[in-house]
Amino acid sequence: MADTYTQSNQPDGVPPLELTGERTLPDVPEENYWFRRHLVVYEWIARRVSGLDVADLACGEGYGSEVLGRTARSVVGVDANPEAFAHATAKYSSKRVSFRRELVEAFEGPVDAIVFLQTIEHIEDPDRLLKGFASAATVSYISTPNLLTLAPEGAEKSDNPWHLKEYRPEEFRALLEPHFERVEIFGLFHAGKLAWHERALSVGWDRVHATLGLTRPFYDWFTPAIGTSDFRLRKGDLDRALDFVAVCHA
């Protein structure tokens, strides 16, 4: 990265994390778009796991485990990274939320629900992992970015060095269906301010703000102002989705 960004305003005793591109972080204004894009999915799932025992695999910084813990009976956040584990444990541990440092491939359950967001694209042997999910949980929530909107047109992959495989809609479904009894796939789309921003770009807003020298001031305001209401999950039109969110019933 050209710039180095580190979390600000962390509670006493919580070591801040540096943004590396491998995972998203809260409390980094420049990263707010990606954080809100992930957070809205956690909030959507939290409404569906009320009263359940949940495993948040590859939990990273831990904010998603905390969100799930607002409704779930219990949440265990699992991540192999030592810095992320130390941070999450210090910041988010509670009566309902705990953390475990281990590889997601080692998780065995049992739990009611597995949450595995924006990570299947990092996995060398996803079939083996998914087979384990189907044995460990009644339902698994699995998300991944859409190759068709993440990568340049015609490319087989974006330039994200952490991603091993990015999926088209039909590829994602074909990966999941052999392992589960029923698979529903939702798409994540821009809404609110971000939908208006898309429309503005389609009529040349990027040229206007560049010509007027407004690019930096505009995005210094716009990016931190993005909220979860600026995204929407729905079925259909998956080719245009930003991310896929699969609900997989064992």
- Domain with residue 79: its CATH number is 3.40.50.150
Assess if residue 203 is contained within a domain: no
Residue keyed to tokens 């992959």:
157
CA dist., res. 139 & res. 133, Å (int): 8
Name the one residue in this structure whose structure tokens are 């440092």: 101
The predicted pLDDT at position 69 comes to 98
Q: How far apart are CA 200 and CA 189, in angstroms?
A: 16
Q: What is the pLDDT along the chain (250 residues), one digit of tens a residue?
A: 345 799 999 999 999 999 988 899 999 999 999 999 999 999 999 999 999 999 999 999 999 999 999 999 999 999 999 999 999 999 999 999 999 999 999 999 999 999 999 999 999 999 999 999 999 999 999 999 999 999 999 899 999 999 999 999 999 999 999 999 999 999 999 999 999 999 988 888 888 787 888 888 889 999 999 999 999 999 999 999 999 999 999 9
20: in domain: no
Look at residue 3 in the predicted model and tell me its pLDDT: 58
Q: What is the pLDDT of residue 18?
A: 95
Q: Which residues pair with 100 in a beta bridge?
A: 78
Report the distance separating Cα 18 and Cα 23, nearest Å: 10
Tokens of 25: 């972080």
57 domain residue, yes or no: yes
Does 3 reside within a domain? no
Residue 176 in domain: yes
Asked, for residue 7, whether it belongs to a domain, the answer is no
Q: Where are the alpha helices (DSSP H) in 78-214?
A: 82-92, 126-136, 147-150, 169-176, 192-202, 205-211
User: For 28-119, where are the alpha helices, taking DSSP H only?
Assistant: 32-46, 63-68, 82-92
The number of distinct structural domains making up the chain is 1
Question: Residue 152: which domain range?
Answer: 29-190+234-249
pLDDT for 191 equals 98
In a domain, 85, yes or no: yes
